[in-house]
Amino acid sequence: MAEEQNQGGNAPPSIDSAPQRLPLVIMPENRSVTTDKDAKLVNGYVEKTPTNEYWVYKRPGLLLDRTLTGNGHGVYNWNGPVYSVFGTKFYEGGTDKGTVNETAGRNYTFSATLGLAPKLFFQNGTKGYAYDTSGGLVEVTDVNYPATTVPGNVYLDATTYVMDEGANIYGSDINDPTAWDSLNVIKAQIEPDKGVALANQLVYVVAFKQWSTEVFYDAANTSGSPLSSVAGAKVSAGCRSAASIQDIDGSLVWISATRSGQVGVMLMDNLKAVTVSTPAVERLLHDADFTSVISFKAKIGGHKFYVVTMVNSNLTLVYDLSSSLWAQWNGLGLSYFPFLASSFDANQQVILQHTTNGKLYQLDLLQYTDDGEIIQVDLYTPNYDGGTKTRKMLTRLYVVADQTEGSTLQIRCNDRDYKPNRWSNFRSVDLSTELPMLPNCGTFSRRAYHLQHRKNTGLRIKAIELYLRLGTL
């Protein structure tokens, strides 16, 4: 039992100390490859105000949008309607538009074309399809289309491109992804590693490989592929998992890998790639299982979220491009966030596709539940000692948060370096009061707090304020 519960006995000689305010801007601070110890924020995100204050918010909730059937394999907005693949069915909204291939472990990536008959093209590495409103769903059967492809397809200057594991980039006929020219091929071969995924940025095609990333531009070559390599834009890091790649308003984010064995998260903007993962996040990735990876993007409430999940590791990491901070999310009864793709509807609402339950959801700032299931926010603080090993008597603790009717915060503490059996019992703080406070909080030398919020209300919290009396060692 943590020492907060020991509130009796003789108090040590003490002197008054000024109140200590502990900000709750928390990043993963795990000292090892698990999240069992040290600071973390679960199901929240951080926002900086114009006055340079930082607040922690509860993440957006989930509102059921549509129930279909089968495992999710991709979702995309094309010319207004939301198109999705569940199981072996291709849907426009809730309307079945035809049967497609379902291959275990493979999801669909989408792109669109223009021309006289605009088309939606999508492929899962095994099969490719084109759809338009007049011709319906058509499988790509051209003999020049590669038998297998890596994830990702790119539309650039009227040509659709795909890539195979040999790092060969194939181009379609003009505005026709059902027809492919055998000569329209170029190889990403600055380094001899395998192809992993294809994406685009600005007016460039980006070829992700195992240990390197190459960039191509439309050189309008009169024979062969129109593409030529941008040699100076090569990145000496590749992609650990194709399913981790997301394009967020023109910025590419992905789980990277290098020949030195380093695994991290990189962001490419204007063809310049930088590492955005922290050492703590990279420790989690080092031990992660990449057998099954899913990811999505979401721009909501002024924030841009990159959300990547290692399913077999029960771990979802969230990078907020707006604040450059990390968090963890989970939901719907799982220890991770089970969504593999995102899009948006005609009202610009973010749409998420579940991996297995056949459902689409709206991600909604005004929802404090996940389809009726209350979201639990967990915030673990770093160990706090006030800059001294002197024992401290905590006479009272104030919570600096929004005053919200029906909102309650549970608080417990640990004076033994996060040992599982040394957490105190939770104590409740009513956040509807003007000055939410806990009295008589015991003595400690060093302490970590766990704040938990599980109510059908919003949460915006900035800090906890400690009123201490310093004793002796």
- Amino acid identity of residue 436, one-letter, is P
pLDDT lower than 50: segments of the chain: 1-15
pLDDT for the residue 472? 62
Q: Could you count the other beta carbons within 10 Å of the beta carbon of residue 409?
A: 24
Q: How do residues 196-226 score in pLDDT, each as one tens digit?
A: 999 999 999 999 999 999 999 999 999 999 9
For the stretch 306-334, pLDDT in tens is: 999 999 999 999 999 999 999 999 999 99
As annotated, the residues of the chain forming the CATH 2.130.10.10 domain(s) are 62-372
Question: Angle at CA 356, nearest 5°, toward 102 and 361?
Answer: 115
> Quick one: pLDDT at residue 19?
87
Half-sphere exposure of 75 (CA within 13 A, CB side): 32
Q: What is the pLDDT of residue 16?
A: 56
- Report the C-alpha gap between 210 and 303 in whole angstroms: 30
C-alpha pair distances (Å), 164 with each of 86, 151, 178: 24, 9, 17
Just give the CATH number of 62-372: 2.130.10.10
The confidence score (pLDDT) of residue 8 equals 38
Q: What is the pLDDT of residue 471?
A: 76
Amino acid letter, residue 254: W
Name the segment(s) of the chain with CATH classification 2.60.120. Answer: 3-24+381-470
Top CATH class, 3-24+381-470: mainly beta
Over the range 27-61, which residues count as b (16 or more CB within 10 Å of their CB) and which as e? Answer: bbbbeeeebebbbbbbbbbbbeeeeeebbbbbbbb
